[in-house]
Structure 1
């Protein structure tokens, strides 16, 4: 049965990192399955707006992408004004959706899909539900109260408690909630979410096999330069490699609000073995990952149950092993043990991190084994078609 879906996805095509590629993939799949989608998204700006100037003047605020109608909302660039400006952006998004709903700017939906971040997006979904009777499916990629606490964005206990109450209030008015890991499900239940929660993983598709290059040995970080990653914790490792292992080259690839500061930090530390590179185009992304022998997947302390780094699945799909930094028993640690695709090191264990990286890079057979383990895990446990069909089934029930 064809359904009309209002798709509230702040991050969407043409952004190529973070949640946007997954939000876009699901929209394309649902549209291809015969449903009618109208997406409301920010003007593209993540991790920076530099590559999206064609959208910045608003001339493309109404457009069509692969038969999906897309309406854009103006936004301040990431890193401009910090947390307060991000909240203002989220409020602009909600106001825009509400205005469009009140003015009848989109067809009466059968289903509203709302992505978190931001939790405020779900307020707009609830308003549309009240006006139309639509079912609300909320897909949680980040638990914002947990991230705010772990990253020190909000320290006042009253503010943190208020954030949790807002989250539980809106999630309990969703008809279903989807999270990425069992850990995220547990955290939502702790703050009082009683709506049905489904755990549906991120998906990936194995890339073509490519031999692991070892001349030179290259260690890579590829992704967003933001607070969730806490890239500062890589500096002791990279500085020690610079002093003790001149044969290992480091590439830091990507962009984000923290990049300029991280570059300065490395320069001040006198690091000479590291090359900073920009984001690459989507068609060059997998080859860029395969140009490294080993990848780093850092995560800030105590954020593991509130967000999952999507870059990890791209690395595994590319057939490359990784070393991640996360607490024992966290979703990252559990995934690493299940897949056999990498090594998980506890935050703050600088010697353990150095040993994990160098021991892997010194054993090509182990690099190849873990890389193949990752490709196999993606193929067997993160099959795109299977996961898309899970979403299709949820839409069918709505």
Structure 2
């Protein structure tokens, strides 16, 4: 460890002890990278959303050798478009100042695509300083604003700026085959950056298959109950003999509750440490991706559903990564099944767990990162 001299900087707004999924993923990547690099992190404040309670059962620990430099947070309402935009700009300015201060020529950088303004800022700084730039693409801006219903002023100008910025990277790491297709079109022909597919992983160590429930078939949605998930449409199509259980909170929670459906239940927010029991409470788990989001994001929750030994009911663009995964592996349904049969769901769940262990375990995916960077 003491003989490692090559510097790797991880640049991300979200990082532990914050408990968002992005924070957890980047924290585990940082821990893995100490095998090869002298790891430093440039990130935002310790907690992204101060209104949320911390999970006292969170067992994540960061390697003691990792050096962290944090930018001051922006105390703005990130649930409004204006507040989120201002927060992105302020956080980007503060983080890029830390990059200028600490990153040197010959260093390697792994950055994630949040906050979005960091992408063109880092592309410009790469040329000036002379570091290697690897971008982990979780979101594709500005294309992702359109499915969300946001009218971005000067959209074409922003797209030109970001398309050019992506071409300056040495490597783009994407979450799925659909995202690789979108990025290939985005960077165009010529001396393009390398595009590498590295999926999210399943937490097979902490999430174990449990017995299926008895009685009515239970469909479960766990995560952000937001405007772009299309959950109102799912409720409209829900069969009377199937229960739908929501775990989480979000902008659409109250509106959905106000419908007062007898077979729909709301359980509120949950901690990461509770995922095992939450996922065990259903026969099949719901994953949605809004139409128009092809290649612009991959729902990371899918992989922990596989770890729990549960099949997936997916509503989203045909040919997207999760759509392809379900159809190729027979681990769920893309759209409503013709009939609900628990024996079939149990067999799909068994196959899902085997797939999680063989293809999407944390060790398998982190090994891909170690080989890619």
How high is the TM-score relative to the length of structure 1? 0.81
Which residue of structure 2 lines up, in the alignment, with residue 219 of structure 1? 219
**CA distance, structure 2, for counterparts of residue 77 and residue 312 of structure 1:** 31
Match of 1:183 among 162, 178, 181: 178
CA contact (8 A) 1:13 1:20 kept: yes
- Aligned partners of 1:36 and 1:383: how far apart in 2? 25
Query: 2:291 matched to 1:301?
Result: yes
1:103-129 deviations in Å (ceiling 9; x for gaps) = x35677711111013332223433553
The separation in 2 between residues aligned to 1:109 and 1:3, in whole angstroms, is 8
Unmatched segments (≥5 aa) in structure 2? 56-60
Give yes or no for the alignment of 1:50 onto 2:51: yes
1:99 and 2:90 are equivalent in the alignment: no
| 1:115–1:141 CA contact under 8 A, matched in 2 | yes
1:19 partner SS = helix
CA contact (8 A) 2:213 2:282 kept: yes
- 2:142 is aligned with 1:149: no
Distance (Å, rounded) in 2 between the aligned partners of 1:234 and 1:275: 14
Question: d(CA) in 1 for partners of 2:119 and 2:372?
Answer: 18
Q: Return closer, same or farther for 1:227/1:2 CA change in 2, 3 Å cut-off.
A: farther
**Counterpart pick for 1:22 among 22, 25, 38:** 25
Alignment of 1:69-148 (within 5 A): 69-70=67-68, 71-76=70-75, 79-82=78-81, 84-102=82-100, 104=101, 110-126=107-123, 128-148=125-145
Consecutive aligned runs of 4 or more in structure 1 exceeding 4 Å deviation = 76-79, 105-109
Q: Secondary structure at the match of 1:73?
A: coil
Which residue does 1:266 correspond to in 2?
A: 257
Q: Is the 8 A contact 1:225 1:254 kept in 2?
A: yes
Root-mean-square deviation (CA), in Å? 2.6
Question: Greater shift after overlay, 90-99 or 124-133?
Answer: 124-133
Question: What is the Cα deviation at residue 280 of structure 1?
Answer: 1.9
Give the Cα–Cα distance (whole angstroms) in 2 for the partners of residues 175 and 326 of structure 1.
31
SS of aligned partner of 1:51? coil
Q: Name the SS for the 2:10 alignment partner.
A: strand
**Which aligned pairs between 1:163-182 and structure 2 lie closer than 5 A?**
163-182=158-177
Secondary structure in 2 aligned to 1:24? helix
Q: Per residue, is there more helix in 1 or in 2? A: 1
Tell me which of 177, 189, 192 is aligned to 2:187.
192
Give the alignment partner of residue 325 of structure 2, picking from 335, 358, 372: 335
